[in-house]
Chain A
Amino acid sequence: MTAVATRFAVLVEVQLRPGIADPQGATIERALPALGFVGVHDVRVGKAMRFEVEAADEASARRLVEDMCERFLTNPVIEEASVSVTQVAGVAS
């Protein structure tokens, strides 16, 4: 018997931890006024990863992704991730 799995769309946003210098963000922030964009603060550059996972429910999908983040997708020494998980409508696998 196979457990019923549902597919979830995942968005992982990886950012440098607060307090870790972000030279890319600082450079962008310094460049913006040259184009007339003033009043921009706290630019931080990160990366986004999108994928789908199969899991029994949303909580276990989230646990799975958080484990991926901890062990592979981020370097916990300098980075942290925020994870969003949404069920993919109409897809059962």
Chain B
Amino acid sequence: MTAKVGVVLFPGSNCEQDVVEAIRSLGGEAEVLWHGDAHLQAVDAVVLPGGFAHGDYLRPGAIARFSPIMGAVAEFAREGGPVVGICNGFQVLTEAGLVPGALQKNRGLKFLCRMAEVRVETTNSVLTRGADAGAVLRIPINHFEGNYTCDERTLARLRDEDRIVFTYVDNPNGSMADIAGVCNEGRNVVGLMPHPERACNELLGSADGAVLLRSLVDATIAVTR
């Protein structure tokens, strides 16, 4: 059975087709879901893609969190369904409270658009199951608000529970503890700033992101069975 990944299109999203293309190139099925629908169309996993949902007005993710589809996404996540938020999608997940913390402006006040080296800190998540622990992946970043912040207690908890999924080798944005991605308690919801969908083909300069999205497709198949 082929896993079907739903990629949510908010007004202002701009990476949804890249995710669809990457998932298909890895043998999964993918379709775009409209943020205004209150139901997920029988998908087996959900990706919140990058971009500027609702113009990033107020704060990135602050309005997207109230899009009709987010109720269904939260319910799907509660039931253990795989949900991945990439870049702006990570910001939406934090605003929705599906992963802890917040993403504030980069320390250097620059919009960062470049390749980053990202270390896999745990293989215990829907996005990293097929990766090697400690592996360093070359995956592009493309954000202004990627500076991960949380309180000390949350950080201690993330560490104790092995929920820091990715760190930067060379911290580009001031993120606390070099964090590039985290997961929820159930490990089925992962948010990350780097864009694995832009690193799924050598023609794009790196194919290191493929192992992550393949993990998602495989996790999805496992859930479907």
Residue ranges of A at the interface with B (Cβ–Cβ < 8 Å): 16, 20-21, 23-24, 27, 72-73, 75, 77-78
Q: Does B17 contact A (CB under 8 A)?
A: no
7 new A-B contacts, CB < 8 A, other than A23-B107, A78-B149, are A20-B149, A23-B108, A24-B109, A75-B95, A75-B102, A77-B149, A77-B151
Give chain B nearest CB distance to A45 CB in angstroms.
10
B80-120 with Cβ < 8 A to chain A: 94-95, 100-102, 104-109
Measured between C-beta atoms, what is the minimum distance from B74 to chain A in Å? 15
Tally A-B pairs: CB < 8 A.
33
Secondary structure type dominating chain A contacts: mixed
Q: How many residues belonging to B are interface residues under a CB distance threshold of 8 Å?
A: 19
Kindly state whether residue B58 has any CB partner on chain A within 8 Å. Answer: yes
| Contact B107–A73 (Cβ < 8 Å) | no
Instruction: List, sorted by A's number, 20 A–B pairs whose CB atoms are closer than 8 Å.
Output: A16-B104, A20-B104, A20-B149, A21-B107, A21-B147, A21-B174, A23-B105, A23-B108, A23-B109, A24-B109, A27-B109, A72-B58, A73-B58, A75-B95, A75-B102, A77-B101, A77-B102, A77-B150, A77-B151, A78-B104
